[in-house]
């Protein structure tokens, strides 16, 4: 992956070029505003850049949208704000005799042992452990709605995708950050990955499988991509 630059309408656009086994060109704009341009292995760079030029207005529109959301970025500190199931909560860190977490209508209260009350790294790791457990339980609950025999479920920090499926290993992996998104979005990702057990691609047949379970999957994907990650 290399960082490149192109001038479009007098503006310098930076992007990362990724060549891999695929048929079409894909643009991904991450929440930090960085542009990732993926294209087939044999495609020339100038041909891939033509896609950037054609999508210039779209790129600017969505980068501006990301800037609008920048005021809602998580701030992990006392009175900061964090996401949980699509809602923004105020964060409170409270010295206590034992570690535990309580969520009310407006805030997430992290009760932490007094000797660690000033240790931000410890507190953040404890909170991430809690999120991982909640993400696992939520994904497991949703999977059980649709299939009887559970695959192996793994929750990880993923940089470029919300989930993945390994049919031959009978395993699905979900992004830890999913627990920060609305339950409708989590369900879409769960169905998306389960559908790969039947269709191991993104063909029309694959999306027909998805639609059998959630008819409004396009709306859910749009919500997920527009606010939390942007993909075309």
pLDDT given at position 12: 79
Domain presence at residue 76: no
201 and 124 within one domain: yes
The two tokens of residue 187 are 């369900």
Name the residue range of residue 22's domain: 2-71
137 and 50 fall within a common domain: no
Q: Does residue 66 sit in the same domain as residue 87?
A: no
Same domain, 98 and 64: no
Contact 104, 143 (CB under 8 A): no
Q: 28 in a domain, yes or no? A: yes
Flag whether 174 is in a domain.
yes
pLDDT along the chain (232 residues), means of 10: 81 87 85 82 90 88 60 78 91 96 95 94 96 98 94 90 92 94 94 94 92 91 69 34
Both 87 and 36 in a single domain?
A: no
Q: Could you tell me if 53 and 148 lie in one domain?
A: no
Judgement on whether residues 105 and 42 belong to the same structural domain of the protein: no
Give the per-residue pLDDT at 60: 82
Q: What is the DSSP string of 38-65?
A: EEETT--HHHHHHHHHHTHHHHHHHHHH
Q: Are residues 117 and 67 in the same domain?
A: no
Distance between start and end Cα atoms, the chain: 19
Does 15 share its domain with 96? no
Number of domains in the chain: 2
């Amino acid at each position: 992956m290399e960082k490149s630059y192109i001038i479009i309408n007098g503006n310098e656009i930076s992007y990362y070029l990724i060549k891999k086994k695929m048929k079409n060109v894909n643009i991904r704009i991450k929440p930090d505003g960085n542009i990732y341009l993926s294209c087939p292995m044999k495609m020339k760079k100038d041909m891939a850049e033509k896609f950037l030029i054609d999508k210039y207005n779209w790129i600017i529109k969505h980068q501006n949208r990301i800037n609008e959301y920048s005021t809602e970025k998580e701030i992990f500190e006392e009175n900061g704000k964090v996401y949980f199931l699509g809602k923004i909560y105020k964060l409170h860190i409270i010295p206590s005799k034992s570690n535990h977490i309580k969520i009310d209508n407006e805030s997430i209260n992290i009760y932490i042992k007094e000797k660690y009350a000033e240790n931000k790294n410890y507190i953040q790791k404890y909170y991430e452990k809690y999120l991982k457990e909640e993400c696992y339980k939520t994904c497991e609950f949703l999977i059980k709605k649709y299939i009887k025999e559970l695959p192996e479920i793994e929750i990880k920090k993923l940089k470029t995708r919300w989930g993945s499926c390994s049919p031959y290993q009978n395993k699905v992996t979900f992004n830890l950050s999913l627990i920060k998104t609305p339950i409708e979005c989590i369900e879409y990702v769960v169905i998306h990955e389960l559908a790969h057990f039947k269709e191991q691609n993104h063909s029309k047949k694959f999306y027909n499988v998805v639609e059998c379970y959630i008819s409004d999957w396009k709306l859910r994907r749009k919500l997920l991509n527009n606010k939390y990650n942007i993909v075309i």
